[in-house]
Amino acid sequence: MLNLWSKPSGMDCEGTSRRDFLKIGTLALTGLNLAGLLRLRQAAAATRSVKDTSVMWLWLGGGPTHIETFDPKMDAPAEFRSMAGAVKTSIPGVHIGGLLPEMAKMANRMAFVRSFAHGNSGHAGGTHYVMTGTDYPPADSGMPPIKPSFGSIAARVRGSNHPETGMPTYVRLAGLYADGPHWLGQAYAPFDVGGQARNNLNVNLPLHRLGDRRQLLKTFDVLDRKIDQSGLMAGLDSFDQQAIDLIPGAGQGCS
């Protein structure tokens, strides 16, 4: 482990130094990289006000067009307007596609964005644009993404894991082009519930052996707590405890 008591230098906009990242990165050698992620999340929360919110991004590839759903354009010529008609919503003057009457009743709880458009007719290029905010036509030729996704950016800002539950910030149910972190790094990649990340949650050791490893970690911890007057060591122990306690809970009920 690097020196825990050196003065921070070369701070980024969140007050975290390059040295701090190196400290946290070395924790991966002990197998407690989750504790490092929790520690990063705590550092981010200390520098800004963070509110717990959830966003579900539904990507309906191959689904109905915007004209048949949320932008019927009934005042446009026949070749441009919805063939399914329109229905009034709970917002005066706002109409959506005629096939969505129940959704129209709850329109006052929604925000319909009808101003976004782009000229890239390719599937991959259009997906890259929507997922990252960057127009990238070479995507249609099989080129890899060049920008991080909104989900990865959210994980970078909010922290990769919830500070109390340890739940991942960014979760995906199925892979999508340009949904990764790119230059932000794999620490902010989506947690894939169908991939190896999910398999890693399975407890492959008996719980009594996990307890033995916890005791071994305490045995290795020979640093004198009195040296640190800032409470840093107590904080490190707290995060390590969270990381270890999450493992049995995540494995329960898993086949």
- What residue numbers bound the domain in which 219 lies? 18-54+153-251
Domain contains 223: yes
Q: Specify if 229 maps to a domain.
A: yes
pLDDT of residue 30: 46
Q: Is residue 200 part of a domain?
A: yes
> Chain-wide mean pLDDT for the chain?
74
Q: What are the pLDDT digits (tens) for 10-67?
A: 554 545 454 544 444 444 444 445 566 667 767 766 666 656 778 888 888 778 888 9
Q: What percent of the chain has pLDDT over 70?
A: 57
Cβ-based neighbours of 251, under 8 Å, separated by 6 or more: 201, 202, 203
In a domain, 64, yes or no: no
Asked, for residue 242, whether it belongs to a domain, the answer is yes
Between 153 and 34, residue with greater pLDDT? 153
Total domains in the fold of the chain: 1
HSE-CB for 253 with a 13 A CA cutoff: 2
Give the torsion sign (CA, 125, 127, 129, 132).
negative
Does residue 65 lie within any of the structural domains? Answer: no
CB-CB contact of 159 with 45 (8 Å): yes
What distance in Å separates the CA atoms of residue 219 and residue 243, rounded to the nearest whole number?
18
Poorest-pLDDT segment among 15-19, 110-114, 205-209: 15-19
Can you give the pLDDT at residue 3? 42
- Neighbouring C-alpha atoms within 13 Å toward the C-beta of 208: 0
For residues 4 and 235, is the Cβ–Cβ distance under 8 A? no
Domain assignment present for residue 188? The answer is yes
Of the listed ranges 114-123, 203-212, 218-227, the one predicted with least confidence: 218-227
171 domain residue, yes or no: yes
Could you give the percent of the chain with pLDDT greater than 90? 25
pTM across the whole model: 0.53
Question: Measuring CA to CA, how many Å separate 32 from each of 20, 25, 84?
Answer: 16, 10, 55
